[in-house]
């Protein structure tokens, strides 16, 4: 078994998907890192979730984030290569699934007033942590075109909707 400590990053660089070396503070690495943080925050929310169906929904979002990170982790010059690969990509069906989940919770007419104050219970707090992490990741994603990296509009839609869903899930989790 090979070691995870390759030492290739000791100089402050890391590899994009197809081998191009970039600084560890490169905007794409910042974006991928923010989505990795979101994946971990979702893992915490999933671990605190008492409902098996909801845990599966959170896990599906995590699965989609892995696909999103893969897409972001290649250089602009390799974007077509990635699109032609067998790697999974977020699809319109994934966005539709989030839209349906948002609509389902909104139809329940959850009660809340004013600005949310996280911490009503551990699960709601974990969802709010995931939501704020999602918004940070969204800001990193939105910044990429200014640095020369094209972003599919669907990715922006997906992350925005996931953030909305996490906010609703947190409000739902606060209900008695």
| pLDDT tens per residue, range 65-106 | 999 999 999 999 999 999 999 999 999 999 999 999 999 999
Q: Are 39 and 62 in contact (CB under 8 A)?
A: yes
Interval 126-176: pLDDT, tens:
999 999 999 999 999 999 999 999 999 999 999 999 999 999 999 999 988
Provide the 8-state DSSP code for 80.
Answer: H
Q: What is the CATH number of domain 13-174?
A: 1.20.1200.10
Arithmetic mean of pLDDT, 33-37? 98
| Cα atoms in the Cβ-side hemisphere of radius 13 Å centred on 77 | 4
The Cα 68–Cα 46 span in angstroms is 19
Cβ 139 vs Cβ 43: under 8 Å? no
**H or E segment at 3?**
none
Q: Two tokens at 166?
A: 């996490």
């Amino acid at each position: 078994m090979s070691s995870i400590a390759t030492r290739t990053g000791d100089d402050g660089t890391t590899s994009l998907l197809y081998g191009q070396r970039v600084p560890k503070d490169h905007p794409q690495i910042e974006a991928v890192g923010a989505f990795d943080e979101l994946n971990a925050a979702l893992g915490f929310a999933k671990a605190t979730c008492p409902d098996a169906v909801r845990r599966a929904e959170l896990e599906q979002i995590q699965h989609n984030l892995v696909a999103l990170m893969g897409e972001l982790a290649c250089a602009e010059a390799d974007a077509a290569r990635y699109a032609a690969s067998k790697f999974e990509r977020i699809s319109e069906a994934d966005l539709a699934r989030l839209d349906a989940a948002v609509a389902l919770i909104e139809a329940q007419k959850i009660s809340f007033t004013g600005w949310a104050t996280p911490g009503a219970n551990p699960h709601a707090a974990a969802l709010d942590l995931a939501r704020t992490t999602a918004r940070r990741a969204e800001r990193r994603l939105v910044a990429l075109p200014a640095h020369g990296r094209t972003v599919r509009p669907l990715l922006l839609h997906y992350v925005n909707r996931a953030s909305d869903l996490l906010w609703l899930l947190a409000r739902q989790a606060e209900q008695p």
